[in-house]
Structure 1
Amino acid sequence: MENKKTNPKKKQGKSLTKRITGWLHLWLGLVSGIIVLTVTLSGTVFVFCDEIIDWCGGSAKYIEVPANTKKMSPEELLVQFQQQVPDRRAFYFDTYKDADRSFRVASATKPPEDKNAAKPKGKGRGPRGVFAYHYLNPYTGKVVGSTKSYEFFYVVAHIHAQLLAGKFGKTVVGIASIIFFIQLIGGLILWWPKKWNKTTRTTAFKIKSGTKWRRKNYDFHNVFGFYSLLPAVFITITGLIMAYKVLTDLTQEAFGGIADPHKITEKYEPKFDPEKKALPFIDFIDRNFKEVPEAKQIRMSVPRNDSSTVYNVVAAKFIGLKSITKGKSREVNKYSGDEINYPKEVQMHEVIEHMNFDLHVGYWGGMFGKIFTFVIGIICTSLPVTGFLIWWGRRNKSPKKKKEIKNIHQQRKEHHEQLV
């Protein structure tokens, strides 16, 4: 038998598939890197929006409960809010079962009536105004605190979805997301060892200790990129479903929903009747606290005008900016308080839409889901950076260094072939 040491195998380079994949992986990464980094970083920050907003509320979230005093009605509190903050319009409020919790109002600055009047400065210009939360003492109606953390996360969400650039930004983000999906699959192809043995398994699954920062950066890109691959693909797909209507519609139809529920819902909603009076908010609140025993918080929409006949009522243990914990969201008739009986496909539309969102941002598993999604987001945010550093390091190596590294790679390759 011929000795492998005296008759080494012919040197083999990378396969055509890996060469093409490597070229695409490099240039697609360089083209989309900044966009991908911005989108993944903003999405990662958004994961803990509820906890940060709650923290920003500070001591204003709680008040000292006075003796022998009842809470003011939501209508009275909204009047008090409008008198104290006349330049804002409330669009929903949160009330709580606990007696020491403040009444919270979500509002936006009103657009100026005079077209020539100065627009609000800073972020949030335009008809929607600047969002904020105000906390009111439910026994006196006094505003005890406020936070614009709502506005901050609104901006973060729109950076994530459209780079604050409207339809054009949404298109750019969509394309970058598709590229990122291709990058993930390409990364797996490049990561996959040509031969599986003890050495390649160690290199593929572990970060080598005692190496310089360039090698550690390379290992971080490869190893952590592999471990985050499946959840990153899943998060990307759920994001693409939200970004592209054709995918949204296909998902809805596949799981029993309907593409455009708004065409149907109006048929089931009550007609405006000026002779009828809407039930007071407290009726909806009391009824929903009874029907959802675990609920500690209720959120109700504030209609823009009297012609609105439907209220959105959410009763749950906790209601965040876009999340609901142990509860239910309902559309109710403002005259009777009854839940509107929409067709099954309309109800499924809401279920599917919320489920896809929860899967995308990590709300599917409580705090564990958030932490898991946050960690994956950090890794995905780092991939464009570590990938760029790999390319930059190779591009700027001295000829002598390149030759040394090439010789080391060749020696390692020959050693692996002899072991096989």
Structure 2
Amino acid sequence: MDMPATAPATKAPPKRRVRAVLSWLHLWTGLTAGLVFALASLAGAVLVFHVDLLKLQHPQLAQHAPVADGRVLAQLIERWGPEGMRSLDLPRDELPVWQAYFEDGHRQYFAPEDGALLLYRSHHDDVLLWLHEWHVDLLGGKTGRDVWGVIGWISLAMILIGLYLWWPKSGRYLAQLKMHAGPPVRRWLTWHRSAGVILLPLLLLATVTGVGMVYSKGFQKALTGAFGGKNVKAPELPASTTAIDWTRAIAQARVAIPQARLARVSVPDPDEGAVSFRLQAHGEWHPVGRSTVVLSREGRVVQAFDATTHQLGMRMSQAFYPLHVGAVGGTAMKWITAFIGLLPMFLLATGFLFWRRRRGKR
């Protein structure tokens, strides 16, 4: 008797094979690169409240009047400039002390009344600065930032793949968004995909702005090429050793751009001719501002640039940082930004639990 012929194995349709490959990529990139992304995002959620936590940890920083005295500034620059101090944030309502940035990455805080040292911080001895270094460059300097950029691109691709895998047939969008309480496999799957889709705009905002900061030059070139804008170069002034009257310099910088807040001063080299300030003009999102005022050592204003006059492309590129850190929209946006920082860990946990449960049923 003839044996019945064995039916040839049928190949899965191309669309199903593509979906299977994308599912595999989504799973394993989520469990590897997604873990680093989630941990860095957790640090970002904390850093949204960096200044608030700093004042809670060191209440002496908040016990001052936010006065920027030129005489105190002159003393600070004379004393600490030779030791690597490169810039200072002026006292403001949010943090009413001088905040100094040094070449090796540490920060120091000085009383606005007399310049007394109030606090020394570095990522070696301060949790918040350690989290900052982890969030910005994975504690690896330029190499870490390059790695972070690659992880950012991978995470962006993972988000888009997840959207593709979720996308339902026409008319089933609401059903596909429903979160189920059980059984466990279905619960973790629906919580994972529904949260990812519902909060997709926020997740994309944080990821795209983060990648945009890592590759700021490339993004800026693309945006200015498409929508216009260019960097404004500071004028080159001849070298000079003329003593700087910092009281006059502060006064001149304040009035150079109407309604702008004087935010940061760069410490000039001993023979550098230019004195540079950063200001936050009215309507600027960046917490320190991208507006600039340059003076000569004699106190003459040689450049005053209001960043709000930039063309659209440059304004878009300069919006990445304030959007990423929740500096736009007040307290509500800060909490939303912190919530976004928690989302990758939630997606990682629910994705892992779904994978483990499904694997256990095999």
Q: TM-score range by the shorter chain?
A: 0.7 to 0.9
Instruction: Quote the offset at 1:232 in angstroms.
Output: 1.7
Of 252, 256, 259, the residue aligned with 1:287 is 252
Flag the 1:22–1:178 CA change in 2: closer, same or farther, 3 A: same
| Equivalent residue, structure 2, for 1:186 | 161
The answer (yes or no) to whether the contact 1:311–1:331 under 8 Å persists in 2 is yes
**What are the within-5 Å matches in structure 2 for residues 20-419 of structure 1?**
20-63=21-64, 73-75=71-73, 77-78=75-76, 82=80, 89-96=84-91, 103-108=97-102, 128-136=103-111, 138=113, 140-143=114-117, 145-146=118-119, 148=121, 152-194=127-169, 196-197=171-172, 201-202=174-175, 204-209=176-181, 211=182, 215-244=186-215, 245-258=217-230, 261=231, 265=233, 268-274=235-241, 277-290=242-255, 298-314=263-279, 323-324=287-288, 329-335=291-297, 336-340=299-303, 351-397=315-361, 399=362
Shift of 1:177: 1.6
**Residue by residue, what CA displacement relative to the aligned partner does 1:13-51 show, whole Å, maximum 9, x if unpaired?**
994443333222223323422222233223333322233
Return closer, same or farther for 1:394/1:294 CA change in 2, 3 Å cut-off.
same
Cα distance per residue 1:76-115 (max 9 Å; x no partner): 5427965xxx9954333344478xx95424143xxxxxxx
Distance 1:343 1:50, change over 3 A: closer
Q: Structure 2: which 5+ runs fail to align?
A: 1-11
SS state at 1:311 partner: strand
Query: Greater shift after overlay, 72-81 or 355-364?
Result: 72-81
Structure 1 pair 19–233 and aligned structure 2 pair: CA distance change class (3 A): same
RMSD of aligned C-alpha atoms? 4.0
The amino acid across from 1:196 in the alignment is G
- Distance (Å, rounded) in 2 between the aligned partners of 1:278 and 1:169: 41
CA–CA distance in structure 2, aligned partners of residues 102 and 38 of structure 1: 32
Q: Contact 1:39/1:173 (CA < 8 Å) preserved in 2? A: no
User: 2:89 & 2:144 partners in 1: Cα distance?
Assistant: 33
Distance (whole Å) between structure 1 residues aligned to residue 324 and residue 233 of structure 2: 27
Aligned letter for 2:223?
T
Q: Is the 8 A contact 2:90 2:98 kept in 1?
A: yes
In 1: Cα distance, 2:69 partner to 2:62 partner: 15
Could you tell me how far 1:224 is from its partner in structure 2?
0.9
Conservation of the 8 A alpha-carbon contact between 2:64 and 2:97: no
Q: After TM superposition, give the deviation of residue 305 of structure 1 in Å.
A: 2.5
Unaligned runs of 5+ in 1: 1-11, 109-127, 400-420
| Deviation of the 1:303 alpha carbon | 2.0
Q: Which has the larger radius of gyration?
A: 1
Q: Within 1, Cα distance between the matches of 2:91 and 2:357?
A: 56
- What TM-score do the two structures reach when normalised by structure 2? 0.76
* Rounded Cα–Cα distance in structure 1 between residues aligned with 2:47 and 2:33: 21
Q: How many residues align?
A: 342
> What is the deviation of 1:256?
2.0
- 1:363 Cα deviation (Å)? 2.0
